[in-house]
Structure 1
């Protein structure tokens, strides 16, 4: 409940509450809102904390920051304030708490993340990004890569107005989706497109084989999807005519097979309820289920002969009151 913890609303709507969740629903940031809304309606949700295996901490801080609702210092202070009011966070050291950071900045949006939520489960679409820090906040052993948010109109199922062209009738060998951003590999690809305008186009096509050109990329749901079945990953150091030659050498029937396998898992990129047979939330629940612990403890958690959990002052867990020292 956003009213239960002092400061949580600031992380959702800004210091004066002027930022609406709908304003944060657009673009890449939208995943933080969609996951929150879908969890509120999830069949796995419980309102009894003692029954919960995992705890979701809602926050729209990327959007709130970009829209001027909080600055970096305020975000940091507010996160610490919120966490200090959560007894279950202290009980486990945050190991059973889930945070969403929906951009390349990742958990670095919370400057003190490494101190306070370094044990928590972080959901992020870009595990290879560091936001100009020394290291990425993504940890492959505990965190989960989620699909980046796209407009709902692009992920609707059912009949479509435009059907993809058969491979034999397609004019271009490849199209580019991304931005240059002064990255050497991307700039080389753009230069390649200028040299071979009949081979590379930039508008997005309905169906194709993804060719991944980011060496450090982390991909969504790697415990669920075998990406060798649905995509190609090519070294960024070898972007040149040899890439086009390689792509052109792949027989159409092989491309059709790869595209067909991609169709089967495309639904995992759709932010739909976990009640759907295939959706982002369905895959996310499967991943989260693997992270459920039978036992919880932290440096500030102790237990006695009768199984009761106590703090350093031997106060029973049920009587822990905010503000609590953070583990």
Structure 2
């Protein structure tokens, strides 16, 4: 099932900004998955790498909380969940006052504007409603190989860039998440490819992921997950149905699930190790891997 994808990655890794890539393909009908991990660095050979998931953290935290406890989500929380809350996209936050800053914004229905601040506000609202840390709710459904970056110990992570002239490895790439240093919802999770695949299967087995997300949705975001707006251009790959859902991560990660085909794929890379502003080759790879997975399954 994954041999064509492996062949494609081996052929093309030298042409990309990343030097590590892991791919998983999931069959939700048979509840099976296959993975590959490829690197051009000798010291990463035969090591299970933990990648910075970046914004894939969002659906794996508050997206999971919605699946587990949809009854707690009021109108404002639904606006936050679908990035229509009117909160700013992003801005600098401090460790001492980030909560006060995030809580200072008024929630008001808006057009869709993808927002890290909205993600953080939703975490605070969930924790206020439940009296429970968001990570305590969501991590119940994660595989053991999905971890917050502050919980990493001996795990090996590829370099994702530089901060203060030092290489970033095993620390979250996102500056706000790094400065805050807490378990927050917009970024911070690390995982191996096996960990993500097993987690997605867990979510389907325990929380009916495929029957809940993406089906007959309105708007771009569905309960914390991104969806396919244009099947002809989607990064999920040619052949993805209109109900396909998933999420991207800034570090060069992505996951997509087609509930009609009952197939999914996960891509983890360290795309940002050198620079982040050229995504043309990465997006071509995302589309190609998605197409290979979907077309190989039909």
Pick the structure with greater CA Rg.
1
TM-score > 0.5 by shorter chain: no
Please classify the TM superposition score into its range, dividing by the shorter chain length: under 0.3
Q: When the two structures are superposed, what TM-score results if normalisation uses the length of structure 2?
A: 0.22
